[in-house]
A and B are shown apart, each in its own frame.
Chain A
Amino acid sequence: MVRTYFPKTLSEALKILRDDPAAMPVAGGTDVMVAKKPAEAFIYISSVPEIKETCMKGQDLFIGAGEVYRDLLEEPDIPELLKAAMKEVASPAIRNAGTLAGNICNASPAGDTLPPLYCMDAEVLLSHMEADGSVKERRARVCEFITGIRKLDIRPGELVTAVIIPGVREIRGMKMYYEKVGARKSEAISKLSFAGLCKREEGDSAVADIRFAFGSVGITVVRRPEEEQKLKGLSGDAYREAADSVVKDLSEILKPIDDQRSTAKYRKQVSLNILSDFLGKAGEGSL
Chain B
Amino acid sequence: MVSFILNGEKVQSSGSGQERLLDVLRKEFSLTGPKEGCGEGECGACAVLVDGRLMNSCITPLANVEGREVMTIEGYSKTERYKVLERCFAEEGAVQCGFCTPGMTMAAESLLSSNPEPDDGEIRLAISGNLCRCTGYNMIINAIRKASKEGKGLW
With A4-B18, A90-B129, A187-B42 in contact, is A47–B66 under 8 Å at CB? yes
| Residues 122-137 (chain B) with a chain A CB within 8 angstroms | 125-126, 128-130
**Chain A residues whose CB sits within 8 angstroms of the CB of B56 once the complex forms:** 93-94, 97
Say whether A2 faces chain B, with CB atoms less than 8 Å apart: yes
With A42-B61, A97-B60 in contact, is A2–B128 under 8 Å at CB? no
Q: How far is the CA of A94 from the CA of B38 in the complex (A)?
A: 14
Classify the secondary structure of A's interface with B: loop
Q: How far is the CA of A187 from the CA of B63 in the complex (A)?
A: 25
**Chain A residues whose CB sits within 8 angstroms of the CB of B16 once the complex forms:** 1-2, 4
Additional pairs, 12, CB under 8 Å, beyond known A2-B18, A44-B64, A92-B126: A1-B16, A34-B59, A42-B17, A91-B44, A91-B129, A93-B44, A93-B47, A93-B55, A93-B107, A94-B56, A96-B54, A186-B128
Q: How far is the CA of A33 from the CA of B59 in the complex (A)?
A: 5
**Chain A residues whose CB sits within 8 angstroms of the CB of B75 once the complex forms:** none
Say whether B40 faces chain A, with CB atoms less than 8 Å apart: yes
| Residues 172-188 (chain A) with a chain B CB within 8 angstroms | 185-187
Say whether A46 faces chain B, with CB atoms less than 8 Å apart: yes
With A91-B44, A93-B41 in contact, is A29–B125 under 8 Å at CB? no
Q: Kindly identify which residue among A2, A4, A30 contacts B59, using a CB–CB cutoff of 8 Å.
A: A30
Q: How far is the CA of A185 from the CA of B131 in the complex (A)?
A: 13
| Residues 98-155 (chain B) with a chain A CB within 8 angstroms | 107, 110, 125-126, 128-130
| Residues 6-33 (chain A) with a chain B CB within 8 angstroms | 6, 26, 28-30, 32-33
Say whether A70 faces chain B, with CB atoms less than 8 Å apart: yes
Are B128 and A29 in contact (CB-based, < 8 A)? no
Residues of B within 8 A of A (CB): 16-18, 20, 40-42, 44, 47, 50, 53-56, 58-61, 63-64, 66-67, 107, 110, 125-126, 128-130
Q: How far is the CA of A39 from the CA of B66 in the complex (A)?
A: 21
| Residue ID in chain B nearest A186 by CB atoms | B128
Taken residue by residue from 62 to 89, chain A's Cβ proximity to chain B (1 for < 8 Å, 0 otherwise) reads as 0000000010000000000000000000
Q: Give the shortest distance, in Å, between B114 (CB) and chain A (any CB).
A: 10
**Chain B residues whose CB sits within 8 angstroms of the CB of A187 once the complex forms:** 42, 128-129
Q: Give the shortest distance, in Å, between A229 (CB) and chain B (any CB).
A: 39
Are B128 and A92 in contact (CB-based, < 8 A)? yes
Q: Kindly identify which residue among A26, A47, A96, A185 contacts B53, using a CB–CB cutoff of 8 Å.
A: A96
Q: Name 22 A/B residue pairs within 8 A (Cβ), A-sorted.
A: A6-B17, A6-B66, A29-B59, A29-B64, A30-B41, A33-B41, A33-B60, A33-B61, A34-B40, A34-B41, A34-B59, A44-B66, A47-B67, A90-B129, A91-B41, A91-B130, A92-B107, A93-B54, A93-B55, A93-B56, A96-B50, A186-B125
Q: Which 8 residue pairs spanning A and B have beta carbons closest together? A: A91-B129, A186-B128, A4-B17, A33-B59, A44-B63, A96-B53, A93-B54, A34-B40
**Chain A residues whose CB sits within 8 angstroms of the CB of B66 once the complex forms:** 6, 44, 47
Q: Give the shortest distance, in Å, between B76 (CB) and chain A (any CB).
A: 15
| Residue ID in chain B nearest A42 by CB atoms | B18
Are A92 and B17 in contact (CB-based, < 8 A)? no
With A26-B61, A97-B60 in contact, is A185–B128 under 8 Å at CB? yes
